[in-house]
Structure 1
Amino acid sequence: MTAMHAVDVHSPRDAELVGWLPTATEDEVAAALATARSAAATWAAVSAADRGAAVRAGAEALRARASDLATVVETETGRPFASAREAVLAGAATLARYAELGPVHRGRPPLGTDFTVPCPRGVVVALTPWNDPVAVACRLLGAALVTGNVVVHKPSERCPHTGLLLATVLAPCFPAGVLQTLVGDGDVGGALVRADVDVVAHVGSTATGRAIARVSSAKLLLENGGNDPLLVDDDVDPSWAASQAALGAFTNAGQLCTSVERIYLHKSIAAPFLEALCQRAREWNTDPQPLVDVRHRSFVHAQVADAAAAGAHALTGGEIPSGRGAYYPATVLANCMPAMRIMCEQTLGPVAPVQLMSSFDEGLAEACSGERGPAATVLTSSMQHAQQAWRALPVSTVKINAVFGGAGGSDLLDEMTTTKVVHLGLPNGS
C-alpha cells in the first residue's frame, strides 16, 4: 500500500459504472489512526449518559436519512429499495438499543471490599461487509462508541458510497476523531489490522478472518462464516416449512449472514416439501434480485455446478441467465450429500440445497457438523426435539420455527470493554 488507487463500483443490475472513489493512502491511514488515538482518552472520559445521548442522536439522524441510504445501498448492491430501507431502519433501531444499554452497562456489585467496572478498550477498527452494510455497521459502531471507544471504520469496497454516506450521517453526532471512515480494499484493511490498535472487529468471510488473526495483535471480534443449517422435522406441515425455507434461502438473494445455506429434511415429507419449495422458488424468480456483482455470481454458480457434477439435481434454477447484470435464479438442489461444497461451505446466494435424513437425530448431527455459521433454524412440533437442538447446535443464535429472529444484547458491550477490579481498603491508622 504505497500509492493511492481507485475503487470502482458497477451496478449489479446492468453493469454500468456507479462511480469510483480513491482509496486511502498509507499516510491517510496513519493519520486516521493517530487522530483516533488522540481522541480516545477524551471520549472515554465522557459520561456514559452523554455517550448514550450521542448514539441516540445517531439513531435519529439515520432514521431521517433512511431513504437516502437505501437508494445508495440499492445502487451499489442491488438490494431492492424497500428491503434496503428496512435494513437501514434496523440499523437505527440497533443504535437506539445500544443508546439505552450503554449507560446501564455496569460492573459487578461489590463483593466484600472489591467491585468491578467496565472500561473502554481504546481504538477499534471495524471492517464491515457489503451484504447488510448499514445494519451490521451500526451494531459494531454502536457497541464500540457507547462504551467509550473510538472507531476507524472501513466499509466493504463493494459499497464504499454507502459507507461514506453513513459516516456523513453519524460522525457529526460525535466529537471530532471519535468516528472516522476510510475507503479502501484489502490493502487498506490490511494496514489497519496490522496497526497498533486495541480491537479489530470484522464481519465477513472465514478466509479473511483467518488472515486477520495471523497478523493482528489486537483483541479480535471475528464473525465469520455463515453456513447456517435448517433442520426440518417430520411432524411439521411441509408447505409451511417450504415457505420458511424459501424465506431463509432467497431473501436478499440469499446474501445475508443468517441466510439458510443448507437444509436437512426428514425423508418422510420430502416429496410435498420439495414440490412446495420449487413453487416458492419460481415465485421468487418472477421478480429477481441481482447478486452483488458478476464475480460473486460466478462463485455461487461454481458451487451449484460442483454439486451437480457430484450427483445433485437442480429441480429449478441452477443456470446463469442471459442478459446484463449479476442475476441468478432461486435454485433448489435435491440429492445433496455431506461432502459437496454446497453443504460444507457458505454460498451466500439464492440456493436451497437439500439433504434427506432418516431421523431427527441424524439431521441434528449433520447440522452440528461442518463450517459453523452464526445461526441455525429448527422447524419442529416436538418440544423435546427443540430442546435437544438448541442445546446441541454450536451457534450463537438458534431459531425455533422461524428462520429470522433473535437480537443481540449486552454481549457485544462486554467484548468492547475490559474489566477493572477495584479493591477498597482503609488507610493506615483508620
Structure 2
Amino acid sequence: MSIQSQAPSLLDAQDDASITIMSPLDGSEVGSLPCTTREQIGLAVSLARAVQPEWAATSPADRGAALRRAAAALRAGAEELAALNTRETGKPPADALGGIEAGISTLEQYAELGPVHRGLSLRGAATASDYTVAEPRGIAVLLTPWNDPVAVAAGLIGAALVTGNTVIHKPSERCPHVGEMLGRLLQPAFPDGVFTTLTGDGEVGRLLTTETDVDVVAHVGSSATGGRIARAASLTGAHVIRENGGNDPLLIDADVDPVWAAGQAALGAFANAGQICTSVERIYVHRDIAEPFLAALTEEARAWTGSSGFPPLVDERMRDAVEAQVAEALQLGARCLAGGSVPDGPGAHYPVTVLADCTGSMTVMTEETFGPVAPVTVVDSFHDGLHLAASGPYGLAASVLTGSIAHAQQAIAALAVGTVKVNAVFGGAPGGAAQPRGISGAGFGYGPELLDEFALVKVVHISSPPQGDA
C-alpha cells in the first residue's frame, strides 16, 4: 500500500494532563499516561480523513490481510498484554488471556467476512442492471470499555477497518495502559493514519464525539455516556452504534431444580465480579422454590468467595458505587444472606453478596450495579415475575429458567431486550448479533451485521442507451 506517513506520533504529550492508574489488586501504582490534547485530536481526525479514500480504495482482500497481520501481532504479545490487563483492571489471568484470544479470533473472522460482504442483485428491466454496493462511512471513532478491553475493541476495530473506514480508538480511562499497548501491537499492520489510538479521559471522548468530521461513533459503556453521545450525534450527523448499560433480569419458574437455578444465578451474577455487560442484575424466583433456591444461592456465594483468584472490582470508585447500592437496599429492608460489606486490606475487593426481600424501590433492582451482587425478589407466579422482569428502561438481555415451553414463549414475546436466554445465563452460537433496546443502546454491535453498521448502501441502476437504426 502506498499511503505515506504524514504526521509525528499522536501520543506525544503537549500539556501536563495525565491519567494515573492504581491496581485494584493491591493498590500499587500501575503507571501514568498523558492525555491526548485538543490539538492532537484535530491532527488525528485530519490525518484519518486524508488517508481514508486510499484505504477505501484498497481491496477488501488486502484489508483482510492487514487484519490477519494485526491478529498475528496480537497473538505474539498476548501473554504480556494479559498480565498488564490483570494488573490494571484486576481481571483474572485466565480470563484476561481468554479475552485476548477472543480478540484474535474476531480479527481473523472479520478478515474473512470483509471480502464476502456483498451487495444485492435487484430485479429490474431485462435490459438494465440494478444492484447495491456497500461503501465505508468514513472516519470511525471507537470508544471501548475496561471490563473486556481487548475482545470488545478487536471486534469494533476489525469490522470498521475491513469495511474501509479509518479508525480512531479511545480505550477506557480505567485501562489506558492496556489500550495503549493494544494500539502499539496493532498499528504497524496498517498504513499511517488508518488506525490511531488516543489516550485520555472522558473529556477526550467528548471532544471526539463532537468532531463534525467524524462519520460514525461506536460506544460500549454506560447508558449515561451513550445518551450524551447520541445527543451529540444529532448535531454532527454521525451514525451511532451503542451497547450500553443493562439491568438484566433472571426469571426462575416453579418447575426447575432450585439448586441448578442457584448455580445459574451465581454464574450470571458473580462471574468477573459481576462486571460483564450481560451479568444477572436482578432475580425473580417463584415462591414455591424460593427457600431452597436462596439456601443454595447462599452456599454458591460462599464457594465463590472462597475460590482462589476471585477478582476485585476495577477500582475503588466502582466499589464505592456498589457498596452504596447494597447499603441502601439494607436500609430499605433487604436481608443480607452473604457478603455485604467492604473487606479490610488494600485494593478494590468486594465480597460476593446475596440480598433477599428486595423490592422495586431499591436502586439495586432498578439500576445497573456492575458488582458481585445477587438481589432476589420472591414472586407468587411466573406471570408476576415476568411483569417485573419486563419493567424498566433498560433492554440489553434477560434470562429465563423454566421447563415450560409456553412460559418460555411468553417470556420471549414480553421481554423488550436484545437477547433472551432460556435455561442458560450465558452462551450462544458464534457470530450472533443483537440490537439493544431502550437506554441499553442501538444498532448491531457484533457479528456479520456489524459490517452493515459501518457501511452505507448505494443503489446502482444501469440502463441500455437507445438503439439507433442499423
* TM bracket (short chain): over 0.9
Indicate the residue corresponding to 1:254 in structure 2.
Answer: 274
Indicate the residue corresponding to 2:79 in structure 1.
Answer: 67
Indicate the residue corresponding to 1:420 in structure 2.
Answer: 458
Indicate the residue corresponding to 1:138 in structure 2.
Answer: 154
The secondary structure found in structure 2 opposite 1:285 is helix
Q: Distance in 1 between matches of 2:412 and 2:141?
A: 32
Indicate the residue corresponding to 1:367 in structure 2.
Answer: 389
Indicate the residue corresponding to 1:393 in structure 2.
Answer: 415
Kindly state the Cα deviation for residue 4 of structure 1 after the two structures are TM-superposed.
4.0
Letter paired with 2:329: A
Q: Distance in 2 between matches of 1:256 and 1:397?
A: 14
Q: Distance in 2 between matches of 1:150 and 1:48?
A: 14
The secondary structure found in structure 2 opposite 1:355 is strand
Give the alignment of 1:45-60 within 5 angstroms. Answer: 45-60=57-72
Q: Distance in 2 between matches of 1:177 and 1:391?
A: 46
Letter paired with 1:421: V
Indicate the residue corresponding to 2:3 in structure 1.
Answer: none
Matching residue within 195, 216, 221 for 1:204: 221
TM-score by length of 2: 0.89
Indicate the residue corresponding to 1:118 in structure 2.
Answer: 134
1:67-109 CA distance string (max 9 Å, x none): 1111011010001111111111111122222222222111122
Indicate the residue corresponding to 2:442 in structure 1.
Answer: none
1:225–1:371 contact (8 Å) kept in structure 2: no
1:72–1:162 contact (8 Å) kept in structure 2: yes
Bigger Cα displacement from structure 2, 241-250 vs 359-368: 359-368
Distance change (3 Å), C-alpha of 1:271 and 1:111: same
Q: Distance in 1 between matches of 2:109 and 2:271?
A: 25
The secondary structure found in structure 2 opposite 1:429 is coil
Q: Distance in 2 between matches of 1:183 and 1:102?
A: 28
Structure showing greater Rg = 2
Q: Distance in 2 between matches of 1:60 and 1:391?
A: 43
Give the alignment of 1:218-367 within 5 angstroms. Answer: 218-286=238-306, 287=308, 288-367=310-389
Kindly state the Cα deviation for residue 2 of structure 1 after the two structures are TM-superposed.
9.3
Letter paired with 1:312: A
Q: Distance in 1 between matches of 2:416 and 2:48?
A: 36
Bigger Cα displacement from structure 2, 302-311 vs 385-394: 385-394
Indicate the residue corresponding to 2:439 in structure 1.
Answer: none
Kindly state the Cα deviation for residue 357 of structure 1 after the two structures are TM-superposed.
1.6
Kindly state the Cα deviation for residue 187 of structure 1 after the two structures are TM-superposed.
1.2
1:320–1:328 contact (8 Å) kept in structure 2: yes
Kindly state the Cα deviation for residue 267 of structure 1 after the two structures are TM-superposed.
1.3
Indicate the residue corresponding to 2:406 in structure 1.
Answer: 384
Indicate the residue corresponding to 2:101 in structure 1.
Answer: 89
Q: Distance in 2 between matches of 1:373 and 1:227?
A: 8
The secondary structure found in structure 1 opposite 2:121 is coil
Q: Distance in 2 between matches of 1:2 and 1:88?
A: 32
1:344-390 CA distance string (max 9 Å, x none): 10010000011112222222221111131422111111222222222
Gaps of 5+ in 1: none
1:134-188 CA distance string (max 9 Å, x none): 1111111111111111110000111011001111121112222111000000111
Matching residue within 18, 28, 33 for 2:40: 28
The secondary structure found in structure 1 opposite 2:408 is helix
When the two chains are superposed, the root-mean-square deviation of aligned CA atoms in Å is 1.5
Indicate the residue corresponding to 1:170 in structure 2.
Answer: 186
Q: Distance in 2 between matches of 1:89 and 1:243?
A: 26
Bigger Cα displacement from structure 2, 88-97 vs 21-30: 88-97
The secondary structure found in structure 2 opposite 1:399 is strand
Matched, 1:184 2:200: yes
Kindly state the Cα deviation for residue 127 of structure 1 after the two structures are TM-superposed.
0.5
Matched, 1:15 2:31: no
1:236–1:380 contact (8 Å) kept in structure 2: yes
1:2–1:26 contact (8 Å) kept in structure 2: no
Kindly state the Cα deviation for residue 3 of structure 1 after the two structures are TM-superposed.
4.3
Q: Distance in 1 between matches of 2:174 and 2:281?
A: 22
Kindly state the Cα deviation for residue 290 of structure 1 after the two structures are TM-superposed.
0.8
The secondary structure found in structure 2 opposite 1:13 is coil
Q: Give the share of equivalent positions with the same residue, in percent.
A: 57
Matched, 1:76 2:109: no
Gaps of 5+ in 2: 1-12, 434-446
Q: Distance in 2 between matches of 1:164 and 1:373?
A: 32
Q: Distance in 2 between matches of 1:339 and 1:283?
A: 30
- Give the number of aligned pairs: 430
Kindly state the Cα deviation for residue 429 of structure 1 after the two structures are TM-superposed.
3.0
Indicate the residue corresponding to 1:411 in structure 2.
Answer: 449
Indicate the residue corresponding to 2:4 in structure 1.
Answer: none
Kindly state the Cα deviation for residue 123 of structure 1 after the two structures are TM-superposed.
0.2
Distance change (3 Å), C-alpha of 1:252 and 1:373: farther
1:249–1:351 contact (8 Å) kept in structure 2: yes
The secondary structure found in structure 2 opposite 1:424 is strand
Letter paired with 1:92: I
Matched, 1:128 2:144: yes
Distance change (3 Å), C-alpha of 1:386 and 1:63: farther
1:4–1:24 contact (8 Å) kept in structure 2: no
1:98-133 CA distance string (max 9 Å, x none): 222222111122221421111110100000111111
1:130–1:155 contact (8 Å) kept in structure 2: yes
Q: Distance in 1 between matches of 2:224 and 2:275?
A: 17
1:207-239 CA distance string (max 9 Å, x none): 111111222321111111111111111111111
Distance change (3 Å), C-alpha of 1:412 and 1:308: same
Q: Distance in 1 between matches of 2:259 and 2:448?
A: 37
